[in-house]
Amino acid sequence: MKSLARILGFDTLGDSYAYRDDPVLGYTSARRSAERWVKSTCGYCSVGCGLELGVRGREIVAVKGWDKHPVSLGKLCPKGLSEHQMISAPNRAKYPLLRGRGGKLAHVGWDEAIGTLVDRFTAVQKQNGPGALGVISTGQLLTEEFYALGKLIQLGFGTRNYCGNTTLCMASAVSGYKRSFGSDGPPGAYEDFRVADVTLLIGANIADNHPILCQHVEANKAGFLIVADPRVTKTAMMASLHLPLKPRSDIALLNGMAHVLFREGLVREDFAAAHANGLEELRSFILARYPVERAAALTGLSAETIADVARRYGRARAGMIAWTMGVNHSTQGAETVSAIANLSLLTGHIGRPGASPFSITGQCNAMGTREAGFTSSLPGYRKFEKKEDREELAALWGIEPARIPDARGLAYPDIINAAADGEVRAMWIIATNPAVSYPNQEQLRRAFRSLDFLVVQDGFHPTPTSEYAHLVLPAAIWGEKEGTFTNSERRAGKVNSAVPPPGEARSDFDIFLAVADRLGRRDELFPGWFKPVDAFNEWRRVSRGRLCDYSGMTYETIEAEGGLQWPYSDGFHGSPASRLYSTARFQFEDGRARLFTVDCEPFPDQPDDVFPMILNTGRTVEHWHTRTKTAQVAILERMAPNAWLEMNSSDARALTLSSHDRVDIVSRRGRVRDVELRVTEITAPGQVFMPFHFFETNGNEVTQDAFDPISREPNFKQCAVRVERSARKQGNTLHGTD
Ligand SMILES: Nc1nc2c(c(=O)[nH]1)N[C@H]1C(S)=C(S)[C@@H](COP(=O)(O)OP(=O)(O)OC[C@H]3O[C@@H](n4cnc5c(=O)[nH]c(N)nc54)[C@H](O)[C@@H]3O)O[C@H]1N2
Ligand SMILES: Nc1nc2c(c(=O)[nH]1)N[C@H]1C(S)=C(S)[C@@H](COP(=O)(O)OP(=O)(O)OC[C@H]3O[C@@H](n4cnc5c(=O)[nH]c(N)nc54)[C@H](O)[C@@H]3O)O[C@H]1N2
Ligand code: SF4
Ligand SMILES: [Mo]
């Protein structure tokens, strides 16, 4: 296993990410001038690093790693290290803004802003039914805020049409876990990366996207790391074995591995038969349909390689399969997760140190919304369709069970489609920026144009999305508010406020309370709540006895321990169990997991003569999503100021293109203009890759609006495109969309 530090050209990983005094960036003086240090949890990715904010007066002047933090061990990545710099950015949203008669946004007071929101939403609902209000939230609020927002939307406004950007992200993992194990919830822990004999990372580029997780992988000196990714990513370079499989052939790889396990007697028959349903169906399906030679043809890997990977995983004492968006961002995302779960059930690689099927989450608190939110599940992983779950919640809240819906409402893409069709007439968008991140920008614009009233609640303004708003609500962000975030390994971390928000901005929590007040529902929905800790204490009661049990945690113990992993029940004060299913009892009534037969299907939007290449989209270490934050941080923006397109040298030769040429990327849906070309062997012939962070050159003008029928997650990772040399900028006529 090669070390990331060596790939990046540093002596040690520690040095590369450790805090360094840098006179050019002013860190030296800033660090010395901090008057006090406030402990917190990073607000970018789901690794959940611990950090300390150096405060002077009303300003955060420095950030440093939290020594001995169980996740990050004192290290931070470049985004974490510079996180304070976006807080004082000039484009922070500072005042509520309401669009007046002339069409311009104008400063209004909070009273008028909240009053208008409530009046317009309730008027639309009165006229068109409760479902005419759609709400899209995020994986980036505090758990206390998700919990409050869910109650406000589902019980206060009475609409089920509530979803979040997590459907662009983790929905396939959630659906896959529910199908295979009976509940959402990543079974493993970061410690597993340290002790697994074999780790297979599928569609996860942790070197760019979860950098501090790399230190756990690198600490595993004896382990064998395999990375399955069509690109030679930095993570692939860390691996003992890279599997450059064809785009979206993961199910063929996983089924081919299962074939070798069945054929060579590597299935732990006792475990699989005792703890899962569907073993015989799966055996006949795999033996008949996925001989390793067929898997080889579908994946482009050799049969020997697939057999080698299967044997290593099958024979391992502890085997780990971890994945991220290369798996989830697919019309077969949930099914691919089922195929991963199959392998762990066939081999018994679950519930033990180093043995886990593990979805690495994305956003800082994607987990919090999955557990406490009210979108695809009821709070505490309760199910809409289960009567006892609804009754239990109703009893906890002292309300009629009939007020809790018995099925989820529309998912994110279906809310957008309903808005475009005029069925959803008002929308509230909180902490997400779809005008960059949503896959079908034309349809999104149609939806926005059809709305009677759009509220955008964001820490920054203008953003590409807030420009469409009738009402902009300015929110406090990370560094300015208190609560908890839960990371990929189910660890709740404490987030603290170090400085007040700018101007008149308020925390999302306070905004939700104020809206409930105006609705006349505050006492009913939020009895005795003033601060986030009041929501947390109710959440502890609501999660008690559930898989995601927080009842034994307090803010104080969470902070003192550098985060606590659930389940953490009342009265539990020892070292918490850090993995689920250690007794192999799963979350179905019969305690047994489910095995699934899943077929590998070609992705929609296949290349042809006109659109001959496959576009893959994703991330780079310097930027966070739509760059509302990282574009404000000089060092990050300077390192990656523009989008680029990676193309293999053989394709570049055929198109007579060279590195730094300007190109357009054209699909059946649209065109992205004037992107810098990078000729590289990172991408295979026939494939191109671009980061999706840049609104100016937005890859989502060309990506596809195809969604997983189970999870509703978009197929962001493959669509057919052609690449053209850009027309010269001056004096040319730019052609329209094809
Ligand atoms: N720096 C940075 N870090 C981040 C984020 C960020 O914006 N910037 N965002 C956070 C969030 S919300 C998320 S969800 C995570 C995402 O983390 P990742 O999933 O690691 O990120 P991506 O770059 O979207 O995609 C991962 C890889 O999937 C590969 N891939 C594409 N198609 C396929 C395929 O068919 N099969 C396989 N096996 N692989 C494929 C891509 O080549 C890419 O290298 O990152 C989190 N961390
Ligand atoms: N083509 C392509 N598209 C993709 C992806 C891809 O790989 N390829 N990845 C998808 C994935 S996995 C994800 S997660 C999405 C992410 O997409 P988005 O959610 O749209 O991206 P962010 O930039 O994180 O948007 C968060 C917004 O919330 C604001 N904000 C931050 N903190 C707070 C706060 O505390 N309160 C409030 N009210 N606002 C706040 C920020 O300023 C920003 O505008 O993109 C998806 N889109
Ligand atoms: S790895 Fe993720 S959580 Fe850790 S410092 Fe970087 S962005 Fe923050
Ligand atoms: Mo994500």
Residue 720 tokens read as: 């057919």
Residue 711 tokens read as: 């999870």
Task: State how far the Cα of 640 lies from the Cα of 666, in Å rounded to an integer.
Answer: 23
245 and 267 inside one domain: yes
The CA distances from residue 74 to 15, 90, 541, in Å, are 11, 30, 33
**What HEC string does 550-590 produce?**
CCCCCHHHHHHHCCEECCCCCCCCCCCCCCCCCCCCCCCCC
144 and 192 inside one domain: no
Ligand 2 site-directed mutation target among 138, 329, 485, most atoms within 8 Å of CB: 138
Ligand 2 site-directed mutation target among 209, 437, 440, most atoms within 8 Å of CB: 437
The percentage of residues in the chain with a pLDDT greater than 70, rounded to a whole number, is 94
> Is the CB of residue 46 less than 8 Å from the CB of residue 186?
no
- Collapsing DSSP to helix, strand or coil, 257 comes out as helix
Q: Is the minimum distance from the CB of 211 to ligand 1 under 6 angstroms?
A: no
Q: Which helix (H) or strand (E) holds 176?
A: helix 171-181
Q: What's residue 3's pLDDT?
A: 55
Residue 416 has pLDDT above 70, yes or no: yes
Residue 661 tokens read as: 């040429």
| Residue in this structure with the two tokens 């008057």, named with its chain if needed | 35
Which residue has the CA at smallest separation from atom 4 of ligand 3? 49
Most distant CA atoms of the chain, gap in Å: 74
> Is the CB of residue 127 less than 8 Å from the CB of residue 424?
no
End-to-end Cα spacing for the chain: 46
Look up the pTM and report it: 0.95
257 and 293 inside one domain: yes
342 and 460 inside one domain: no
198 and 314 inside one domain: yes
Quick check: is 459 in a domain?
Answer: yes
CA of 138 to the centre of ligand 2 (A): 7
Residue list, CB under 5 A from ion ligand 4: 169, 362
Ligand 2 site-directed mutation target among 83, 94, 97, 140, most atoms within 8 Å of CB: 140
In the DSSP assignment, the letter for residue 74 is T
- Collapsing DSSP to helix, strand or coil, 451 comes out as coil
Q: What's residue 1's pLDDT?
A: 52
Among the atoms of ligand 3, which is closest to the Cα of residue 624?
7
* Mean pLDDT across 503-521: 98
Residue 303 has pLDDT above 70, yes or no: yes
CATH number of residue 467's parent domain: 3.40.50.740
> Is the CB of residue 495 less than 8 Å from the CB of residue 484?
yes
Residue 43 CB neighbour total at 10 angstroms: 23
Q: Is 583 exposed, middle or buried (0-12, 13-18, 19+ CB in 10 A)?
A: exposed
At residue 571 the predicted structure's pLDDT band, cuts being 50, 70 and 90, is confident
pLDDT, one tens digit per residue, over 579-590 is 999 999 999 999
pLDDT, one tens digit per residue, over 213-233 is 999 999 999 999 999 999 999
At residue 738 the predicted structure's pLDDT band, cuts being 50, 70 and 90, is very low
Determine the angle formed by the axes of helices 250-263 and 279-289, rounding to 10 degrees: 110
CATH number of residue 337's parent domain: 3.40.228.10
> Of 359, 381, 408, which closes a domain?
359
Q: What's residue 20's pLDDT?
A: 45
Residue 12 has pLDDT above 80, yes or no: no
327 and 432 inside one domain: no
| Residue in this structure with the two tokens 């962000």, named with its chain if needed | 477
Residue 553 has pLDDT above 50, yes or no: yes
Domain total of the chain:
4
Quick check: is 626 in a domain?
Answer: yes
Q: Is the minimum distance from the CB of 323 to ligand 1 under 6 angstroms?
A: no
Task: State how far the Cα of 486 lies from the Cα of 371, in Å rounded to an integer.
Answer: 9
> Is the CB of residue 164 less than 8 Å from the CB of residue 373?
yes
Instruction: Kindly write down the DSSP assignment for every residue of 275-316, as one continuous string.
Output: HEE-HHHHHHHHHHH--HHHHHHHHSS-HHHHHHHHHHHHH-
Q: Per-residue b/e over 189-226, b at no fewer than 16 CB within 10 Å?
A: bbbbbbbbbbbbbbbbbbbbbbbbbbbbbbebeebbbb
Residue 362 has pLDDT above 60, yes or no: yes
Residue 489 has pLDDT above 90, yes or no: yes
400 and 526 inside one domain: yes
Identity of the amino acid at 472: V
396 and 486 inside one domain: yes
Q: What's residue 733's pLDDT?
A: 39
**Residue 111 contacts by C-beta under 8 Å, 6 or more apart in sequence?**
none
Q: What's residue 732's pLDDT?
A: 38
Residue 17 has pLDDT above 60, yes or no: no
Ligand 2 site residues (CB inside 6 A) read 138, 140-141, 165, 168-169, 325, 329, 362-363, 430-434, 436-437, 457-460, 463, 475, 477, 508, 617-618, 625-626, 628, 692, 699-700, 703, 716
Q: What's residue 30's pLDDT?
A: 57
Quick check: is 563 in a domain?
Answer: no
CA of 247 to the centre of ligand 3 (A): 28
Among the atoms of ligand 1, which is closest to the Cα of residue 248?
35
Which residue has the CA at smallest separation from atom 24 of ligand 2? 625
Ligand 2 site-directed mutation target among 87, 458, 688, most atoms within 8 Å of CB: 458
CATH number of residue 626's parent domain: 2.40.40.20
Q: What's residue 575's pLDDT?
A: 61
Q: Is the minimum distance from the CB of 203 to ligand 1 under 6 angstroms?
A: yes
pLDDT, one tens digit per residue, over 272-282 is 999 999 999 99
Q: What's residue 15's pLDDT?
A: 36
Q: Is the minimum distance from the CB of 331 to ligand 1 under 6 angstroms?
A: no
Quick check: is 388 in a domain?
Answer: yes
Residue 113 has pLDDT above 80, yes or no: yes
Quick check: is 568 in a domain?
Answer: no
Q: Is the minimum distance from the CB of 691 to ligand 1 under 6 angstroms?
A: no
pLDDT, one tens digit per residue, over 58-84 is 999 999 999 999 999 999 999 999 999
The CA distances from residue 330 to 164, 167, 333, 334, 693, in Å, are 17, 12, 5, 8, 19
CA of 170 to the centre of ligand 4 (A): 7
Q: What's residue 412's pLDDT?
A: 98
Q: What's residue 615's pLDDT?
A: 98
The percentage of residues in the chain with a pLDDT greater than 90, rounded to a whole number, is 93
pLDDT, one tens digit per residue, over 595-608 is 999 999 999 999 99
Quick check: is 721 in a domain?
Answer: yes
* Mean pLDDT across 477-497: 98
Q: Is the minimum distance from the CB of 248 to ligand 1 under 6 angstroms?
A: yes
Quick check: is 309 in a domain?
Answer: yes
Residue of 430, 479, 469, 428 lying closest to 449 (CA atoms) = 469
At residue 576 the predicted structure's pLDDT band, cuts being 50, 70 and 90, is low
- Contacts of 391-398 with C-beta under 8 Å, sequence gap 24+, read 393/542, 396/541, 396/542, 397/151, 397/155
Ligand 3 site-directed mutation target among 51, 73, 77, 214, most atoms within 8 Å of CB: 77
Q: Is the minimum distance from the CB of 176 to ligand 1 under 6 angstroms?
A: no
Q: Is the minimum distance from the CB of 336 to ligand 1 under 6 angstroms?
A: no
318 and 378 inside one domain: no
Which residue has the CA at smallest separation from atom 6 of ligand 3? 77
CA of 216 to the centre of ligand 3 (A): 14
Ligand 1 site-directed mutation target among 47, 138, 200, 229, most atoms within 8 Å of CB: 229
CA of 487 to the centre of ligand 2 (A): 17
351 and 229 inside one domain: yes
Task: State how far the Cα of 502 lies from the Cα of 458, in Å rounded to an integer.
Answer: 13
Which residue has the CA at smallest separation from atom 2 of ligand 3? 45
At residue 8 the predicted structure's pLDDT band, cuts being 50, 70 and 90, is very low
Q: What's residue 28's pLDDT?
A: 53
Compute the mean pLDDT over every residue in the chain, rounded to the nearest whole number.
94
231 and 335 inside one domain: yes
> Is the CB of residue 693 less than 8 Å from the CB of residue 675?
no
**Residue 685 contacts by C-beta under 8 Å, 6 or more apart in sequence?**
648, 650, 651
Task: State how far the Cα of 612 lies from the Cα of 238, in Å rounded to an integer.
Answer: 31
Length of the chain equals: 738
CA of 492 to the centre of ligand 3 (A): 15
Quick check: is 655 in a domain?
Answer: yes
pLDDT, one tens digit per residue, over 652-701 is 999 999 999 999 999 999 999 999 999 999 999 999 999 999 999 999 99
> Of 332, 359, 386, which closes a domain?
359
**What HEC string does 402-435 produce?**
HHCCCCCCCCHHHHHHHHHCCCCCEEEEECCCHH
153 and 48 inside one domain: no
Q: Is the minimum distance from the CB of 559 to ligand 1 under 6 angstroms?
A: no
Task: State how far the Cα of 257 lies from the Cα of 464, in Å rounded to an integer.
Answer: 44
CA of 694 to the centre of ligand 2 (A): 12
pLDDT, one tens digit per residue, over 312-359 is 999 999 999 999 999 999 999 999 999 999 999 999 999 999 999 999
At residue 10 the predicted structure's pLDDT band, cuts being 50, 70 and 90, is very low
**Residue 228 contacts by C-beta under 8 Å, 6 or more apart in sequence?**
200, 201, 202, 203, 243, 245, 250, 253, 326
Task: State how far the Cα of 52 lies from the Cα of 708, in Å rounded to an integer.
Answer: 40
Dihedral (CA of 623, 626, 631, 637) sign:
positive
- Tell me which residue range forms the domain holding 288: 187-359
Q: What's residue 728's pLDDT?
A: 73
Residue 9 has pLDDT above 80, yes or no: no
